[in-house]
Amino acid sequence: MNMRRIGIAVEDGKKQLLHLVFGGELKKLGGTEFRDLESLDIVGIYPDYQTALGAWKAKAQASVDNAHMRYFVVHLHRLLDPESKVGG
């Protein structure tokens, strides 16, 4: 398992700003309700937004032929520390 990817260790000393990338098929175009929660694609947890964005972009581009497939980036650090004013 890539420890840097999941945010366990960050060698450059920057604060971890964890982000989750996941996706799945939506019930309706433009919505956010998934057809099948059991088939959600949990791509991974990343130590910063830029890394998560790269993973999101790769998965989104790979699923471009399926109009109902959507991938999202969730700012986990905002949920874990809602008082923090750190962006990302």
pLDDT over threshold 90, residue 15: no
Mean pLDDT score of the chain, rounded to an integer? 86
> Tens of pLDDT along 30-57?
999 999 999 999 999 999 999 999 999 9
5 pLDDT band (50/70/90 cuts)?
very low
Q: Residue 35 and residue 24: Cα distance in Å, rounded?
A: 8
Distance, CA of 4 to CA of 34 (rounded, Å): 29
**CATH domain 19-80 topology:** Alpha-Beta Plaits (3.30.70)
Residue 12 or residue 24, greater confidence: 24
